[in-house]
Amino acid sequence: MKRSASFMFTLFFLFVGFELYAQKAEMDPEAAKAYNEGNSLLKAGNYEGAVKQYDIALKTSNDYRIYYQKGIAQKKQGKLKEAEDTFNKSVKSNPNFDITYNGLGGVYYEEGKYLEAAEAFKKFGELTKNKANKEKADEYTARSYAKLAEEEKRDGKLDKAAEHLNEALKYYSLDAAYITLAAVEIDNGNFQKAIDATNAVIAMKNTTFKGAAYYYKGLAYKKMDDAAKAKENFELAKRDPQYKKLSDYELNGMK
């Protein structure tokens, strides 16, 4: 039976809910009017109308906030390349506007540009003064590295996959990343490292990956010729319906 460790790292990135309404003193009066109208349309879910108003505002003002809000509207439309370009214009207009990097990172992530996403989220984390946003930035950075590791693992680049997973775990204790790391380290012959990764998950209070952790821990002990500990962990893994069949297969092969 072929074993697999491929986990979907879903990113629920937030566009910070700023309603950045402009005063006429802050930007050209006509731009401010169009910008505010665009924000109202964005809030109402009229993304096409919002983009049109932001484009009107941009004719007389290159304000970073206009680009940011336009990028959100384009992302909502599913126009990822356009949103990427717009967020980058916001960055160029004001490199210290923290939430633009969050938006940019989210777009990169959905485009499958995981290294770029990680760098954008790291920048978001560096710039934000909000503790909750900093925590989210760290989580999103970790998830981006974990997705990058999944790609490297599929391509057979196990050392590179392990490197990215360890980098992910510096930012956020991601259970699925630990499980993938355990699978990678087993393939690399680093069985104790695999066990250490599974133990990190087993110690977590809130995780859906304990069955996976016991399964890969069992595999590591099997590779180390410790049949007793391997069986013990496969028996624990069986309690998870997703790993019962795999664990039974391993246990039957050890009789």
- Would the CA dihedral through 127, 130, 134, 136 be positive or negative? negative
Binned at pLDDT 50, 70 and 90, residue 194 comes out as: very high
Residue 110: how many other CB atoms lie within 10 Å: 16
Evaluate whether the domain defined by 173-255 bears CATH number 1.20.1250.20.
Answer: no
Band of pLDDT at residue 27, cut at 50, 70 and 90: confident
Q: What are 213-251's pLDDT values in tens digits?
A: 999 999 999 999 999 999 999 999 999 999 999 999 999
pLDDT of residue 104: 96
Residue 124 has pLDDT above 60, yes or no: yes
What's the topology of domain 8-156? 1.25.40
User: Where exactly does CATH 1.25.40.10 map onto the chain?
Assistant: 8-156, 173-255
Please tell me the distance from the alpha carbon of residue 219 to that of residue 254, in angstroms, as a whole number. 12
Burial 161-172 (b: 16+ CB within 10 A, else e): bbbbbebbbebb
C-alpha closest to that of 64 among 87, 46, 81, 82: 87
Question: pTM of the predicted model, to two decimals?
Answer: 0.87
Whether residue 82 has pLDDT greater than 90: yes
Q: Over the chain, what is the mean pLDDT?
A: 91
C-alpha torsion 122→128→132→134, nearest 10: 20
pLDDT one-digit tens code per residue, 134-182 = 999 999 999 999 999 999 999 999 999 999 999 999 999 999 999 999 9
